[in-house]
A and B are shown apart, each in its own frame.
Chain A
Amino acid sequence: MKKLYILILAATTLTMVACNKETPTTQTNVMNSMLTNKNWYLDYSITGTSTKSYVGQSTYFVTYLKDGTTKDSDGLTGTYSVEVLGNQSQIHVQLKTSNGNPLEVIYNIISVGDTKLVLSKVVTTGTPTQLYFTNK
């Protein structure tokens, strides 16, 4: 009888205590699923108080593919990774320019969704530019 009580107690305790938890990759997985395999068209770029609108125009777009590669409408190609550093989510892009030189660009992710993407280009000097994309 004592064994039965112990078994009931153990089963109850296990089911109460054990919960599935968020893993270190949960957030990046969700962001990747929203980001990948879409053409992100630039609608606005804002630097300081200067806002440029590209709505309704044939404009710049960028694509992040599931295989970790990226390409944009300017013909730049490369690889990318989504990373979370502390509370900051970032896209690290390794590009090759048309003359073959490597170039690294880092964007802070301000907001990413199924249809809206807001990035801020990380710069060492000057005012960062915020880029507003739509997945049309």
Chain B
Amino acid sequence: MRATRLFSNKFLLLFSILSIAASSITAQTLTKKQLDSAYLLNPGQERLRKIKKSLAKKFVNFVGNDVSLFGALALSKQNINDNGVTAPINYLYNTVNSNTFNSGYSGGFRIDGIYKEKHRYALSFAVNRIAAGNNYKNKYSLSPFIDDFTHFKADNNFTTLSIAAHYKKLLPVNAMNKYKFYAVFGPSFDYKISRISNEQLINGAGNRAIINGDLGAEFDNKGYYVLYAHYKLGVNMTSSSVPVQLNRFEIGMSIKAKDLF
């Protein structure tokens, strides 16, 4: 429990740093209020300004960055291979195996921009509440007593923090000056921040890190909002006695932060 809280704190720290870095990329011009406050000495702001300036110099090729907030519905299913479990535990197959996509949700922010005026990208940071259906690949039996059972019970409700880096390819569809369609692909990384149950930890099966390959399509309606559908295929980042393959479909919408606030 304490360890979970510790890692949550670490992630909050990491997110805060990344948020500062992200906001610095977008800040190009100063508002009147910012100009006025520039005359006042504030060590914190001064430090932040220096960081922003430094990052802007560093990421000079990353232009047109827009910060958007997004929310999505996520449908998830995990395929579980419990061949490596040696603990003599049984879970009745029909009670743990649903083999369906269950719904969860996610929310966060993303930065859309262009690299070297040519390559469109999106960096996103999200909190995901995942409710996954379970598909256990192996069935065992102890005849004549237990018909079908598994040795392992995977957690199917958990929360992750995720980072994604997507390449966006503009598709030559429709009137491109109004509506834009993109094909999107790239990697993403999830880290479980919710408590892992003892059942999930047995025989070294517990694994917090998930690495995903993402593929999807996005529709940009004149810059007002973006509708998107992404498919994510994830696997355990480190070796585990129970390899889990997490399949997710995300259907969501993002709106530019400056239009909201």
Contact = CB atoms under 8 A, between A and B. Distances in A.
Interface string A13-32: 01110111110001101110
Contacts of B196: 20
Contact of A15 (B10, B54, B89, B92): B10
B87 A14 contact: no
B87 to A, nearest CB: 5
A121 B38 CA distance: 81
Given A1-B51, A16-B209, A19-B207, A31 B89 contact: yes
Interface string B1-36: 001100100110110011000000000000000000
Interface residues of A, number: 35
9 contacts: A8-B14, A8-B18, A22-B201, A30-B199, A111-B88, A111-B89, A113-B146, A115-B92, A132-B145
Interface string B148-185: 01000000000000000000000000000000000000
A112 to B, nearest CB: 6
Given A22-B204, A30-B202, A43 B145 contact: yes
Contacts, number: 97
A29 B145 CA distance: 24
A89 interface: yes
A54 interface: no
B42 interface: no
Interface in B174-224: 191, 196, 198-199, 201-209
B7 A26 contact: no
A87 interface: yes
Top 6 closest pairs, chain A to chain B, by CB? A113-B90, A11-B14, A22-B201, A132-B145, A111-B90, A111-B88
Contacts of A114: 91-92
Contact of B14 (A15, A34, A111, A116): A15
B88 A89 contact: yes
A122 interface: no
B87 A113 contact: no
Nearest to A110: B88
B41 interface: no
A15 B191 contact: yes
Contacts of B138: none
Given A15-B7, A15-B14, A89-B87, A22 B145 contact: no
B91 A27 contact: no
Band of interface residues on B: 35 or more
Contact of A11 (B10, B88, B142, B203): B10
B61 interface: no
Contacts of A118: 142, 145-146
Nearest to A51: B144
Contacts of A110: 88, 142
B51 A116 contact: no
Contacts of A33: 198
Interface in A28-42: 29-31, 33-34
Interface in B107-154: 142, 144-146, 149
A31 to B, nearest CB: 7
A41 B180 CA distance: 66
B92 A113 contact: yes
Contact of A21 (B14, B18, B206): B206
A22 B162 CA distance: 24
Contacts of B238: 19
A34 B202 CA distance: 14
Given A12-B14, A15-B191, A89-B87, A111 B7 contact: no
Contacts of B149: 111, 113, 116
A56 B198 CA distance: 35
Nearest to A18: B7
